[in-house]
Amino acid sequence: MPAFICVTCGTQFDDRPAPPENCPICADERQYVHWDGQQWTTLERLRRTHLNVWKHKEEGLWGVGTNPEFGIGQRALLVRGRHGNVLWDCVALIDNATHDIVEALGGLSAIAISHPHYYTTMVEWSRTFGDVPIYLHADDRQWIMRPDSNIRHWDGETHELQPGMTLLRCGGHFAGGTVLHWTDGAKGRGALLAGDIIQVVFDRRHVSFMRSYPNFIPLSAKAVRTITNVVGPYSFERLYGAWWRRNVRSDAAAAVRRSAERYIAALEEDGS
């Protein structure tokens, strides 16, 4: 039986003879149902029409995104760690070429994903690379559409994947919204892999924070303060967002602080 994939968000569901009635992730207020109605595809079909593109981002870091753009359009990141490679976030397409490139880079030891919009075909990725563990925050377990024994639900506020790579629960966009702090990034000055839990905006000198990006639902000042308090103790020169070129290349920790201050000031302005 096929494992159907939602065309709008890229989420893969468990095996079944017919597509689900709808995609709960897209029906949620943070996403949207396709304007032409709920649509489905499969991994087999996707492999016939799309391919993955790889780009070297810096020493020890590679990006992978799908062309033509599919689903939400994010790209994932492969981090070469001291004790194995970690796939940060995920894209729906996985094929033979992707397998060969990842193996050439040293394979995978783990997958970690920032929030449910990027769960996509995480189970396929895990099985392809030897049933590696998938780390998801337990607060978002209700959004898993394809349960699997390789999924590891972590609780609390931090989880060390390996020395030099730590998951941080920021909340905000989703209750379990997570970022990855990479100590060795930016030549040892540190990098934050943020998905869109912390969104890099178009000037690339600032970031922003939203409950829903497509539906323009902001976060509260309290939620933004929580995010900045979580990442505040960590040093990071760079911040990698969820899309190609959506990165803060330098002084990223300061960019997060001043962006949060600007955001909160706009929320609290009395309009007089």
pLDDT tens for each residue of the chain, 272 residues long: 899 999 999 999 999 999 999 999 999 999 999 999 999 999 999 999 999 999 999 999 999 999 999 999 999 999 999 999 999 999 999 999 999 999 999 999 999 999 999 999 999 999 999 999 999 999 999 999 999 999 999 999 999 999 999 999 999 999 999 999 999 999 999 999 999 999 999 999 999 999 999 999 999 999 999 999 999 999 999 999 999 999 999 999 999 999 999 999 999 987 65
Domains delineated in the chain = 5-268 (3.60.15.10)
Nearest CA among 70, 44, 66 for reference residue 55: 66
Nearest CA among 44, 192, 27 for reference residue 116: 27
Query: What is the per-residue DSSP string for 139-156?
Result: GGGGG-SS--TTEEEE-S
pTM above 0.85, yes or no: yes
Is residue 99 a contact partner of residue 113, using CB atoms and an 8 Å limit?
no
Q: Is the dihedral of CA 177, 194, 30, 258 positive or negative?
A: positive
pLDDT value for 156:
97
Buried b (16+ CB within 10 A) or exposed e, 20-37: eeebbbbebebbeeeeee
CA 256 to chain centre: 18
Nearest CA among 176, 272, 268 for reference residue 222: 268
| Structure-block tokens of residue 90 | 């995920």
Buried b (16+ CB within 10 A) or exposed e, 235-272: ebbbbbbbbeebbbeeebbebbeebbeebbeeeeeeee
State residue 168 phi and psi, 5-degree precision. -125, 125
Q: How many CB atoms lie within 10 A of CB 202?
A: 8
The beta-carbon contacts of 144-149 under 8 Å, at least 24 apart in sequence, are: 144/116, 144/119, 145/11, 145/12, 145/13, 145/14, 145/23, 145/24, 145/25, 145/119, 146/3, 146/12, 146/13, 146/14, 146/122, 147/14, 148/123
pLDDT value for 269:
84
Q: How many CB atoms lie within 10 A of CB 134?
A: 22
Residue that is written with structure tokens 């689903």 in the block: 71
- H/E stretch holding 264: helix 252-268
